[in-house]
Structures are given as structure tokens and as C-alpha cells.
Amino acid sequence: MSRPELIAPPEIYYGDTESKKYTNNTRIQQVQADMTYRALELLNLPPAQPAFLLDIGCGSGLSGEILDDEGHIWAGVDIAPSMLEVALEREVEGDLFLQDIGQGFGFRPGSFDGAISISVLQWLLNAETSHPTSSPPHRLTRFFTTLFSALRNPSRAVLQFYPSSDDQIQLITSLAQKAGFGGGLVVDYPNSNKAKKVFLVLMVGSGGQVPQGLQGGAEGVENEEKVKFEKRRERAKARASMKKKSIKGKDWVLKKKELYRQRGKEDVPRDSKYTARKRKIRF
Amino acid sequence: MVRLITHNLLACHAKGCTSNNFPLQLKDVQIALREADFNPDFVRGFMPKIEWNALVNAARQLGDSSLPAEQPEMIDDDLLKALHHVLLEIHIEEGQMTCPNCNHVYPISNGIPNMLLAEHEIA
């Protein structure tokens, strides 16, 4: 998978040409739309009620259009001016802000009924300068704390992102929890390399349980449940564990003692309820 | 495309600027009016979040005095329509927003406010 966040900071990577490419690519449009619908589903907004949402990293407004279609009113922030320019050209409905989410938001407490963010958080994981406010943990903390206060209670924020390691997931979830959020990670199609999508579902107040990730393969993605020769390995494992189990159990000890008695060996201990019983751990 | 709905939610987020940082003062603004679909449920649901004084002052500054100075107890259709117009149809195209506390200036150009902070202003 290509990792544009390793190439340049977002405001530079998404320059004029890249913004246009991104917005006009039908495959990206499709992926973005799918993820936005899924994020809306995970947001679990009250039905048939227009909400005021925040689109974090709105870019050219691809997901914003879907929010419009669903009847919601939204405001979007993005750090790439070229992307926002494309959004202006496309005449999206929402309010746009040029903002670095790592610097935090200035919204009043309880402003939004929910927040979504598609493919953004991974951009916060690279330090651009050596200044202390530029370190990923600092920026993430600032982002999460200000986002937490900008959300209404109860509400949710659904942030889809592409983590490149488990450490990144660990860092992000722990910082979100420190900022006061409940919730956790929802992984859709965990067995598929291509269709796998990671959503961070953050809850303010009594959001309830973390929803389940979608299982199985997505359409058009091959779903390989098992690796080749998996069965053979499983059988070998089962055989090994069976052998191990039979060693020095109670039956084995009793059989041995019986054998010794038959042979006339002296001092064979009597059988009792303590025979072959495991010692307590503390011993 | 800053509408008053977001202006009414926006406070200054510079380092150490935590009190008296709302509302951001509008200056040298050019506005554009664009019609939006009237959605009474949304406006009614949004009402509890509104800082009434800030909204009325901002609206008057932009030349719209359809809202009463005090938040009325009764919510009728006329009020909802007036609120809808003020919140969602007045777009600020150019100008600047200044924090009343730290005097940080957030310039608005092409309808997009620049909320970026300099390194020393980041909390």
C-alpha cells in the first residue's frame, strides 16, 4: 500500500495536481463514499433528524456531499488549501475551514452532534519539526481533547484511518481515552488485506457498546479463510497435544504404583485423595 | 463560506487564550446571500446551542435585524424562518475575525477562514 503521509506533509502533498487527481479518481470516490456511509452508520445518529456534523479532513468535500444527501448540515476542516479550493469549485454546502487539527479546534463546548473523519489520522503520526508542539503525541492529545469538548453529550466521533503498525493503534487509542473518550476500534473485514478498514469509534457520554466490525470478505475481494496446509498442521498439533496430556496424570501414577506393588517393591505410598494431585502454586 | 451558524460556535484557540475569547469580532466583511433549504427540525434542534447575544450582534453587524434582542420564549414559524435565514443563508466571503482577548486575527478569504496558528501560539 502506498503511504502518502510518509512522502510530505498533507498541505504540500495535496497540492493543486494531487487534489484534482484525488477528487476526480472514480475509485477513490467510490472508496470514500463507502467509508462515509459506514461511518454514518457507526455514528448511530437518531433517525430522521438532521444533525450538525464536523467533517475532519474534509478535503474536497467528497464525504460532505454524502452528508448533504443524507440531510445533515456540516462544517469541514482541512489543512490543504488546494483541496479546499477544489471543494469551493465543487460548491459544497458545508462551511470550510483551513485548519491544522493537530493545533486543536476552537469550537464552543457541545457544538456538534457528531464528527466523522475519513483517512486522516495517519497524517498526524509524523513529526514535521523538532518543536515540542510538533510531536505526534502532543498533536494527537490536543486534537482529541478539543474534539471531545466540541462534541455534544451523548454523541460519537467515527475516525477511519490507515494505521501502519499496532503501536500506532495503541498510541492513538490510549491518547483518545486519556482525552475522556469511551469506545474503541472497529475493524471491518479483518481477514482481507484489501478491504480491511479500521474505524476508531469514540464516544462521549453513554454511547453504549462498541459495534461489531463487518465480517467476511467485501464484494470482489477474495476471502481466504485458511492458509494452505493449515489442516495438516492442525492435525499434527492435535496429535502432539494428545500425547502431552497423557503423561503423568492420575491414572498413570496409579498404574505405576500398582505395578511396583505387584513386583513386591517396598514403601510404595498408599493411594489416597491426594495421589497425583497438583501442588498449590505458592509452594 | 463562514455562515453565522459556525461563527456562533467559534472561539479563539490560541495558546493561553481561554477566557473572553468568544465571539470573534467580524471586521471588513463582505457577505453573500445564498438560499438554503428550510429545515424547521434542524433549526429547532439547534436553538439550545445558540449564544443569542453573539448571534444577534453578528447579524446586526451584517445588516440583518430580523431577530429580537432578547431570546423569545415562544418559538413560532416566523422566528424559525428568521433564524434559518440568519444561521444558514448569510455567507461571509471576505474579511477577518479578531479574538476579543488576544487580538489574534483570523483572515477570511474566498469564504474560507484561515485558522492556522503560528508555532508560538500552539497550546
Domains for chain B: give ranges and CATH numbers: 2-121 (2.20.25.10)
Q: How far is CA A196 from CA A9, A33, B12, in A?
A: 25, 15, 38
Q: Which residues of B43-73 are buried (b: 16+ CB within 10 A; e: fewer)?
A: bebbeebbeeebbbbbbeebebeebeeeeee
Closest partner CB to B123 (pick from A71, A131, A142): A142
By C-alpha distance, the chain B residue nearest A109 is: B9
Q: What is the ipTM of this complex?
A: 0.91
By C-alpha distance, the chain A residue nearest B113 is: A97
Say if the Cβ atoms of A95 and B41 lie within 8 Å. no
Q: What are phi and psi of A261, to 5 degrees?
A: -65, -40
What is the pLDDT, as a whole number, of residue A220? 46
Say if the Cβ atoms of B49 and A111 lie within 8 Å. yes
Q: d(Cα A49, Cα A268) in Å, to the nearest integer?
A: 81
Secondary structure letter of residue B121 according to DSSP = G
Say if the Cβ atoms of B10 and A71 lie within 8 Å. no
**Cα dihedral A12/A14/A16/A22 (nearest 10):** 170
By C-alpha distance, the chain A residue nearest B92 is: A95
Strand partners, A116: A55, A158
Q: Looking at this protein, which amino acid is placed at residue A151?
A: L
What is the pLDDT, as a whole number, of residue A209? 67
Name chain A contacts of B35, Cβ cutoff 8 Å. Answer: none
Name chain B contacts of A105, Cβ cutoff 8 Å. Answer: 13
Name chain B contacts of A130, Cβ cutoff 8 Å. Answer: none
Closest partner CB to B41 (pick from A49, A94, A142): A49
Mean pLDDT of B20-25: 90
Q: Which residues contact A34 (CB under 8 A, 6 or more apart)?
A: none
Name chain B contacts of A88, Cβ cutoff 8 Å. Answer: 1, 110-112
By DSSP bridging, strand A95-98 and strand A112-118 are: unpaired
Cell (9 digits) for A178: 486519556
For chain A, the average pLDDT equals: 87
pLDDT tier at A246, thresholds 50, 70, 90: low
Say if the Cβ atoms of B5 and A95 lie within 8 Å. yes
Q: Distance from CA of residue B25 to its chain's centroid?
A: 9
Q: d(Cα A222, Cα A227) in Å, to the nearest integer?
A: 13
Name chain B contacts of A52, Cβ cutoff 8 Å. Answer: 5, 42, 46
Q: What are phi and psi of B102, to 5 degrees?
A: -105, 0
By C-alpha distance, the chain A residue nearest B116 is: A99
Does this model's pTM top 0.90? My answer is: no
**Cα dihedral A230/A231/A233/A237 (nearest 10):** 130
Give yes or no for A46 touching B (CB within 8 A): no
Q: Which residue has the cell 438532521?
A: A50
- Give tens-digit pLDDT for A9-32: 888 889 888 888 888 888 888 999
Say if the Cβ atoms of A52 and B36 lie within 8 Å. no
pLDDT tier at A1, thresholds 50, 70, 90: low
Q: Which residue has the cell 469514540?
A: A202
Cell (9 digits) for A241: 497435544
Min distance A217 CA to chain B CA atoms (Å): 38
Closest partner CB to B115 (pick from A85, A97, A133): A97
Give yes or no for A110 touching B (CB within 8 A): yes
Name chain B contacts of A85, Cβ cutoff 8 Å. Answer: 110
- Give tens-digit pLDDT for B42-97: 998 898 889 999 999 999 998 888 888 888 888 888 899 999 999 999 999 999 99
Q: d(Cα A210, Cα A184) in Å, to the nearest integer?
A: 6
- Give tens-digit pLDDT for A71-127: 899 999 999 999 999 999 888 888 999 999 999 999 999 999 999 999 999 999 988
- Give tens-digit pLDDT for A140-181: 999 999 999 999 988 999 999 999 999 999 999 999 999 999
Q: d(Cα A125, Cα A251) in Å, to the nearest integer?
A: 58
Q: Which residue has the cell 467580524?
A: B26
Give yes or no for A98 touching B (CB within 8 A): yes
What is the pLDDT, as a whole number, of residue A244? 61
Q: d(Cα A190, Cα B70) in Å, to the nearest integer?
A: 55
What chain A holds in terms of domains, given with CATH numbers, is: 4-240 (3.40.50.150)
